[in-house]
Structure 1
Amino acid sequence: MSDEDVRRDWIVVLFAFVAIDGALIQARGALVPVFGDVFTVGESYLGLVTPVGTVGFVLAMVVFGTASGRIDIKRFLAISVAATIASVLVLGLSPTYLLLLAFIGIRSFSTGIFRSLDRSVLSHLYPNSRARVLSLHTMVWAVGATLGPLLVTAVMWEFPWRVTYLVLAIALVPVLVALWRLDRPESLDDEQSLALDDVKILLREPAIYGMAIALVFVGSMESVFFNWLPYYAEGLFSENIANLTLSIYLAAYVPGRLTFSYLAERYRFTDLLVGVGVVLVVTMYAALVLASGTGLLALVFVIGFFISGLFPTLISMGIESRPSVTGPVNVVANVAAQTGFFIAPATVGVVADATTIETAMLLQVGLAVALVVVVVGLKLGPLAGQEPGSA
C-alpha cells in the first residue's frame, strides 16, 4: 500500500470518529432540558453535565497525550473506540441522574484517549500542511456536532431520548472495524513524549502559554453555548425553535472552520485572533442584549462562524512552534480549553439559579472581552513581528 493510500485511510477513520464525537457532545447539550424534566433536577445540577465530562476527558488527555511517544498509538486508539461504544450504550440506560453523570464521565474518558492521540497521527501524516489539516479535522467535528441536536430531535419524534445513544453507539462499530485493519504509519516513530518537567519548560514558550491562556476563555465561551443555548432559547422561542438554536450555532462551525483552514496559512495567527475577538465582543453584546426573534438567530450563526475559528487557530499556533511534540502540545491545548468547560457552564448554572438565565448568559460578553485582552497582549508583546502562517 502506498503512503498516499495509508494517509487516506487514516484520515477517513480519524475524521469519522471525531465527527461522531461531535455528535455525542452536542446531542448531550440538546438533551440537557430533557435531563431536567426526566430526572427532576434544577439548573445548578444541570450545570454539572459539562464539568463532569471535562474531568474524564482531561484525565485521559493527561495520561495518554503526554505518553504519545511511548505507547502503541494504534492499539490505544482501538481501545478508545471500543470503550466509547460500551460507555455510550451504558449511558443510554442511566436510571438516575447521579449515574447519568458518572457514565458521562466514563464516556468522556474513553473518548479522551482517542482525542489525546489523533492530532499526533495527523501531524506526522501531513507535516507540510498541519494548520490546514488540523482545521479540517475540527471542521469535521463541527459537522458531527451540527447533526447531534438534529439527531435528538429526529429520535424524540418517535422514540425515547435513550435511543439517541443506541444510534451513536452503532455508528461507531464500523470505525472500530476499519481502525483495526489499518497499517501503523512509520512516521509515528518520530513522535516524542515529554515528562512533567518538560511540559513546564514547554509552557515557557510564548506561543504555547499564549495558546493555553486564550483557550481557557475560548473553552468557556464554547461550553456555555453548548450547555445552555437551548435552555436560554426556551425563554425566547417556541420549543421547536429553541431546540434548533444549537444546530444553527453549530452549523456555522462548518463553513467557519473551512474558512479558517485557509486563512491560517495566509495570515499571522495573532492577526486572525485579534480580529475574531473584536467581532465576538460586538456580536455577543448585540445577541444577548439588543436582538430578538430572527435577528437573534442570525447573530447566533455569526457568533458560531467566528468562534469556530479560535480553537483550530490557537492549537495550530502551538503545534507549529513545536511540531515534534504534537501530543504534549495537544494535551496542553485541550486541558486549557477543558478548564473553561469545567468552570464556565457550572458558573452560569449557579448565576442562573440566583438570578435568571438571561443575566447569567451575559458572562459571555465578559469572556469575549478577556480573550481580546489576551490576544492583543500576545500580538503586541512576545509574538510581535511573526510571519504569516505563524504566531
Structure 2
Amino acid sequence: MQTTSRSTLAALCCIAMLLYSVYLGAVGVLLPYLGTAFSLGAEAQGRLFPANFAGFVVGVLLCGYLSDHWGRKAVLLIGLAVYAGGLLLFGSASSYALALAAALLVGAGSGAMEVVANALAADLYPEKRAFLLNALQVAFGAGAAASPSLCRYLLTHNTEWRTLYFGLAGINIAVFIVLSLCRLPRSERHEALELAALRAVLQKPSFALLCLMQALYVGAEVSFFSWLPTYFEGRLPGGTAWMAGVGTLFWITMTLGRFALGGLLGRFALLKLTALCAGGGVVFSALALVWQTLPPVLLCVALAGLFFSGIFSLVLAEAGERFPRVAGTAFGGVVAAGGLGGALVPWLIGALAGGSLGWQGALLLVPLSLVGVLLLSLHLSTELSTAR
C-alpha cells in the first residue's frame, strides 16, 4: 500500500474538525427542539453542556496521551468511532438521561478528534505548523458558521431532529472508512500529551492562570453562541426570524477574525492581543444584551465574534511560548481546561435564566467571564514585563 499524501491527510484532519464544529454550532438551534421532545426547561437543557464537555476533557487528556503510544491514526479512528456512536445513540435516545449519556460519548469522541487532528496536522507539516493549525481553526469556524442556518432550514422543512444526528453520524462513518484506508508517512512524529510532564507544568502558577483564562473564554464563547438562539426566539422583539442566523453571523465574523489575526501575530505581544480581544468581547457582548432593537444587536453580535476569534489560539500560543519544552503537554492541559469552562458556564447560565435574572441577566455572565480573561491577561503581561 502506498503512503497517502500529506495534503490528503491534512485535509482529513480539517474535515474531522469541521464535523465536530457542525455538531457544536447547531446545538443552540436544537436546544428548543430537545426541550420540547423531552419536556425540559432551560436548566435541564443546560445539563447537555456538562455532559458533553466532561466527555471532551476525558477525550483530550486520554487520547492525546494514547496517540503517543498507539500512533495518531489509530487514536483518531477511535475518536471518529466514538463520536459517530454517540451521535447514533443521541438520535435514537428515548429519554433525556440516555441523551446525556450519548452527549458524553460525543464529547469524548470530539475531544479525541480535536487534540489528535491538531497533533497529526502539526506532525505532517512541521515546517508549516502555525499555518496548518490555523487552517484547522478556519475549518472549525466554517462548519460552525454553516450549521446553525442549515440545521434551522432542515428543521423547518419537515426534517425530524433525530435525522440530523443520524446524518452527521453517517458522514462521520464515511470519513472513518477513508482514513482507515490511508497509510501515514514513516516520518510521523509524536508530540502529544504526556501526563508526567503535565503534573510538572501544573506546579507553575502562570500555567494555572492560562488554564483559567481558557476556561473562562470557552465558557463565554459556548454560552454566547449556544444560548443566543433561545434568547432571540423568546426575549428579543423580532428575534425569532434570526434564531439560526445569529449563530451563523457570529461564526462568520469569528472565522474572518481568525484570518485577520495571522497578520497581527509577531507584531504585538500575545498577551496584549489577548487583552485587546477580551476587552472588545466584553463591550460588544454586553451591548448585544443591553439593546432591544434587532439591527444594533446583530451588529454587536458580529463585532463580538470578531473580537472573540483570537482568544483561544492566543492563549494556546502563550502557553507554547512559556513552556516550549513541553508544548504538547501545555496545549493539552489548556484545551482540557477550556472544556471544563464549556461545561460549567453554559449550564450555570441555563440554571440562572430560570430564576429572577431571566435570559438577559443570566447571559451577562458572558461579558463577566471575559472581564476575567482581560484582567488575567493584563496581570500575566505585567508579570512578564517585570521578570524581564
Which has the higher mean CA deviation after the structures are superposed, 66-75 or 39-48?
Answer: 66-75
> Please, what is the CA RMSD of the aligned residues?
2.4
- Between the two proteins, what is the percent identity of the paired residues? 23
Change (3 A) 1:195 1:100: closer
1:136-215 alignment, distance < 5 Å: 136-156=135-155, 157-191=157-191, 194-196=194-196, 198-204=197-203, 208-215=207-214
Deviation sequence 1:335-363 (CA, Å, 0-9, x none): 11112112111111121111211111111
| Aligned-partner SS, 1:184 | coil
Deviation sequence 1:280-339 (CA, Å, 0-9, x none): 222122222245211101110111121021111221222344456454223212211112
Contact 2:28–2:225, Cα closer than 8 Å, also in 1: yes
* Superposed displacement of residue 216, structure 1: 1.2
Change (3 A) 1:193 1:171: closer
Which has the higher mean CA deviation after the structures are superposed, 281-290 or 23-32?
Answer: 281-290
**Separation in 1, partners of 2:190, 2:159:** 48
**Separation in 2, partners of 1:281, 1:101:** 31
1:44-55 alignment, distance < 5 Å: 44-55=43-54
Contact 1:132–1:264, Cα closer than 8 Å, also in 2: no
Q: What residue number does 1:23 align with?
A: 22
Which has the higher mean CA deviation after the structures are superposed, 277-286 or 372-381?
Answer: 277-286
Q: What residue number does 1:389 align with?
A: none
Q: What residue number does 1:99 align with?
A: 98
| Aligned-partner SS, 2:153 | helix
* Superposed displacement of residue 95, structure 1: 1.5
Contact 1:77–1:114, Cα closer than 8 Å, also in 2: yes
Q: Quick check: 1:381 aligned with 2:383? A: yes
Which has the higher mean CA deviation after the structures are superposed, 179-188 or 162-171?
Answer: 179-188
5+ residue gaps in structure 1? 387-391
Contact 1:206–1:382, Cα closer than 8 Å, also in 2: no
The one-letter code matched in structure 2 to 1:85 is: A
Contact 2:61–2:193, Cα closer than 8 Å, also in 1: no
**Separation in 2, partners of 1:277, 1:251:** 18
* Superposed displacement of residue 9, structure 1: 1.4
* Superposed displacement of residue 270, structure 1: 1.2
Change (3 A) 1:317 1:41: same
| Aligned-partner SS, 2:243 | helix
| Aligned-partner SS, 1:381 | helix
Q: What residue number does 1:301 align with?
A: 302
Contact 2:261–2:310, Cα closer than 8 Å, also in 1: yes
| Aligned-partner SS, 2:5 | helix
**Separation in 2, partners of 1:318, 1:6:** 31
Contact 1:192–1:324, Cα closer than 8 Å, also in 2: no
**Separation in 1, partners of 2:119, 2:168:** 25
Q: What residue number does 1:226 align with?
A: 225
5+ residue gaps in structure 2? none
Change (3 A) 1:193 1:215: closer
The one-letter code matched in structure 1 to 2:164 is: T
Contact 1:142–1:251, Cα closer than 8 Å, also in 2: yes
**Separation in 2, partners of 1:127, 1:324:** 16
* Superposed displacement of residue 85, structure 1: 2.0
1:30-69 alignment, distance < 5 Å: 30-69=29-68
1:334-349 alignment, distance < 5 Å: 334-349=335-350
The one-letter code matched in structure 2 to 1:7 is: R
The one-letter code matched in structure 2 to 1:224 is: S
Change (3 A) 1:271 1:102: same
